Structure 1
Amino acid sequence: MTRIAAVHGALPAHRYHQREITDALAVLRRPAATAPERDRGVLDRLHATACVRTRHLTLPLERYALLDGFGQANDLFIEEGLRLGEEALRAALDDAGLAPHDVDLVFATSVTGIAAPSLEARLAGRMGLRPDVKRVPVFGLGCVAGAAGLARVHDYLKGHPDQVAVLLSIELCSLTLQRGDTSTQNTVAGALFGDGAAALVAVGRDHPRLQEYAGPQVVATRSRLYPGTEDALGWNISDSGFTIVLGAELPELVRLHLGEEVRSFLAAHDLKPDDITGWVCHPGGPKVLEALQDALALRPDSLEMTWRSLAEVGNLSSASVLHILRDTLALRPPPVGSPGLLLALGPGFSSELVLLRW
């Protein structure tokens, strides 16, 4: 089985309270001249009910007004993404007691910028990764990529059980800001998303240092696409960059599909939701989390670490579940040997489930 050796999260230095971000966005937005007060009221309401207290942003708030188009934002994504990604990856390798040249595979994901060469390729030389390191850069999985990336790392290590694989997530959501878009979905996104990176180091079952690591094991995974839901979540890409697609039907899709999906996955391993001692769930927003709790009939404290992460850093897209996994291990470690479940949702509409053994 795959063993998680270390998880580390990295956040930009610029941290703001939700009200500060709300006020800054009110200035940046250009509401219809006939209804500016109504627009500000919607902005205030959606930000106040997002269950987010603070977020970390790539830039100081005042600099977002100076961003001039998609090209400049993407240049910043590369520059700042490399810095944050290097911080996360170096720290995760240090925590695992491994060096960059020990890494055999890097699975790198982001959905908030584009780079060719990809970010992990640009990091290879400056970090000392081997020239023959295998790289899998992925764009388009969105928020599900933290869970899907761990699942694909597990797939690789099953075939290369003596090796080291790394999952690197870099998400600078604030750089996708659409200043002139006053739609509800853009307003909701502006209330939820923050910036951050994370790195996870894993080793295969035959790695010589396997027994040194106390992290959870990956037992099994499941990927699922739900046909007919392709328009529920994702990006529209235009001259101004990435415009969020965030359907109001998402909570209902969670209620419709996730309860049955999780129960059938667990049943295949002779488990029920009540057996899970640690839930590591992507913080898609309060309505999505409430729908997930309802669909699985979870106890109020089951998603405590997810709600905590949403409040403290917002939704970090694919990096969120890795931050929550780190926090779970550090602050609320489940009993050794008990089952855990890591899950995330993303464009497609899709879900990814990863069964863990703590």
Structure 2
Amino acid sequence: MKQINGRFDVAILGMGTALPVHSVAQSDIAELIASTLQDRPDLARFARRVFRSCGVETRYTCESNYLDPLETCRYLHSHDASVIPTTEERMDTYKREALPLGVEAAEKALKDAGMSPDRITHLITVSCTGQYQPGMDVLLIRELGLSPRINRLPLIFQGCAAGLKAIQMARDVVSGAPGSQVLVVCVELCTLHFQPVREREALFAASFFGDGASSCVIGQPEAEHRHYLELGSGYSVLLPDSTEDMTWEVGNTGFDLFLSPRIPKLLGTHLEDELRVLLGGDKLPELWAIHPGGRGIVDSVQEVMRLTDEQTQYSREILRTAGNLSSVTIMFVLNAMRQKMKERNEASTEGVAMAFGPGLTAELMRFTYVKAYAPSVKEQDHVLL
């Protein structure tokens, strides 16, 4: 296995994604919410405009109740507060629905990596939309046939940036303990936390979140590996004067999310300097895996970094076809990018991944798409000897 400057290469060797069976057209959700605002025609018009312009066409949900008529849709019922699901009810649904999605994504990632479950040494589970104990990590061990002695690292309630944070944690695990194989599993059921909308601010959060799961296997690439993502340096940074611009708190009827309309502007103000730090003077890479926290966020990154439409296509396509899946989303973007590079038979290409969460936190990481494993010069010399 390749070693550079005393450090072993670490890579995403396989990836998998999963979506619930229920898909909902964005136009249908917009009309459903607008119909709850018959006494607020100004807000109903605003809702239709926000939902139409946010870059989403389809979302997925684990909750079939969203497919019901307004009169029986408990999550958006605005006339009788007693029928709105409590946080306890929502957590019961999460406990029932999260595991199958996580298992599906993990099985795909293991198969894609050519990795048997008994080789996994570490399990990182990620979610900010549900909690229970024993947690999803324990149940995944049983369902996937992982070792009961596996090192478990739950990463909970960290928001949209947590998927990329988990990838960087896994990279550090493998770097510090060569031979480790880390399985990362992210599951988010965002639609369980929809609330009846009565204020403009609530419409932004309601306009683009959906449900899904993603997973990846991270370890050291070997001769048989192809089309993988080699993980480079990265870090987290708290952006200044932004603590209150994204909040996620537990309420009596689910978790309450607030997203400030200032977020795209804040990213535009601070992100370029941080990316220069990350790149350390190197030229801008070709590949850009941007967490599509909303159309405005992708627009802001594209504008400040002077990216082409082709460079943001992966993020925009995931947003369009599935919405923002919180921590899950960045792996959807990376997987779509990797598949397209594979289809085009592209050569190895440098990239940057980024995701954003409460704090405001920016999670930034360099990576390289690698078409085929190539041994280092030292390894080649050893073979010749």
Instruction: Compute the TM-score of the two structures, normalised by the length of structure 1.
Output: 0.92
Partner amino acid, structure 1, of 2:20: P
User: How far apart in 2 are the matches of 1:5 and 1:288?
Assistant: 29
- Which runs of structure 2 are paired with 1:46-125 in the superposition (5 Å)? 46-60=50-64, 61=66, 62=68, 64-65=73-74, 68-125=85-142
| 1:149-204 deviation digits (Å, cap 9, x = unpaired) | 1111101110111111011110110001112x322232111111111000011113
Counterpart among 350, 362, 366 of residue 339 in structure 1: 350
2:155 counterpart residue number:
138
Please tell me the root mean square deviation across aligned C-alpha atoms, in Å.
1.7
Contact 1:8 1:88 (C-alpha < 8 Å) held by counterparts: yes
Residue 249 of structure 2 corresponds to residue 243 of structure 1: no
Partner amino acid, structure 1, of 2:297: V
User: How far apart in 2 are the matches of 1:203 and 1:13?
Assistant: 31
User: How far apart in 2 are the matches of 1:57 and 1:64?
Assistant: 13
* Unaligned stretches of 5+ residues in structure 1: none
Corresponding pairs, count: 346
- Which runs of structure 2 are paired with 1:159-308 in the superposition (5 Å)? 159-179=176-196, 181-204=197-220, 209=222, 211-266=224-279, 268=280, 270-273=281-284, 276-308=285-317
Partner amino acid, structure 2, of 1:150: I
Report the identity percentage: 26
Over 3 Å counting, the alpha-carbon distance change for 1:332 and 1:97 in structure 2 is closer
Higher mean C-alpha displacement, 318-327 vs 328-337: 328-337
Which structure has the larger Rg? 2
Contact 1:160 1:204 (C-alpha < 8 Å) held by counterparts: no
Over 3 Å counting, the alpha-carbon distance change for 1:217 and 1:347 in structure 2 is same
Task: State the shift of 1:210 in Å.
Answer: 5.8
Provide runs of 4+ in structure 1 moved above 4 Å. Answer: none
- Which runs of structure 2 are paired with 1:24-35 in the superposition (5 Å)? 24-27=32-35, 29=36, 31=37, 35=39
User: How far apart in 1 are the matches of 2:59 and 2:186?
Assistant: 17
Contact 1:108 1:168 (C-alpha < 8 Å) held by counterparts: yes
User: How far apart in 1 are the matches of 2:318 and 2:228?
Assistant: 20
Over 3 Å counting, the alpha-carbon distance change for 1:318 and 1:25 in structure 2 is same
Partner amino acid, structure 1, of 2:157: G
1:355 counterpart residue number:
366
Over 3 Å counting, the alpha-carbon distance change for 1:77 and 1:211 in structure 2 is same
Partner amino acid, structure 2, of 1:184: R
Task: State the shift of 1:38 in Å.
Answer: 1.5
Over 3 Å counting, the alpha-carbon distance change for 1:94 and 1:152 in structure 2 is same
| 1:92-137 deviation digits (Å, cap 9, x = unpaired) | 1112122222111111111111122221112211221101111111
